Structure 1
């Protein structure tokens, strides 16, 4: 099961996160998301994948709202992407420079 972890301290590493979640069961992966344009500084959220759904649910219940690194973290099941174009809602209709099509 994939888990979203938010409101993280910028100093928390992926290894720290893996260690924290391993108290609840086997952790397949833990990845703090970083900003590659800002010296790989943490964006304050992460994703953890756990091998067992029951262990993941225990981790969510046990860690949601817990203080970690001086901050109360948010832990919940990762919401699957609803699809879409991946363009953030922006869709360019044409490459005509914005000119109207009903010209004479």
Structure 2
């Protein structure tokens, strides 16, 4: 089973490959998605990494609070997005 991991406080210059490499040390990375602003296309400084369960737990423990490109990462299990009411 796979886990979705929230990765926050990323430097805006981060690439998906750099994030993948940092997480791959701890287990198999299934996907990496860095979020960009819809209007400007600029990075928003956060993203999501999908990993196998065992590697995900190791990555969360190892990378939360670690320096990445001069910024301290915020790494935790992603929570489901709340439903919007219109």
TM-score normalised by structure 1 residue count: 0.76
**Number of paired residues?**
84
**Cα distance in 2 for residues equivalent to 1:12 and 1:36:** 18
Q: How far off its partner does 1:60 sit?
A: 0.2
Deviation string for 1:50-89 (max 9, x for gaps)? 0x2111010000000000000001000000123343x4xx
- Name stretches of at least 5 consecutive residues in structure 1 with no aligned partner: 88-104
Task: Please name the residue that 1:27 is paired with.
Answer: 29
Report which of the two has the higher share of helix.
2
Structure of larger gyration radius: 1
**Cα distance in 1 for residues equivalent to 2:78 and 2:15:** 19
Which structure is higher in RCO with an 8 Å CA cutoff and minimum separation 6? Answer: 2
Task: Please name the residue that 1:42 is paired with.
Answer: 43
- Name stretches of at least 5 consecutive residues in structure 2 with no aligned partner: none
Q: How far off its partner does 1:5 sit?
A: 0.3
Q: Say if 2:82 is the partner of 1:75.
A: no
Q: How far off its partner does 1:23 sit?
A: 0.5
Alignment of 1:1-104 (within 5 A): 1-38=3-40, 40-50=41-51, 52-85=52-85, 87=86
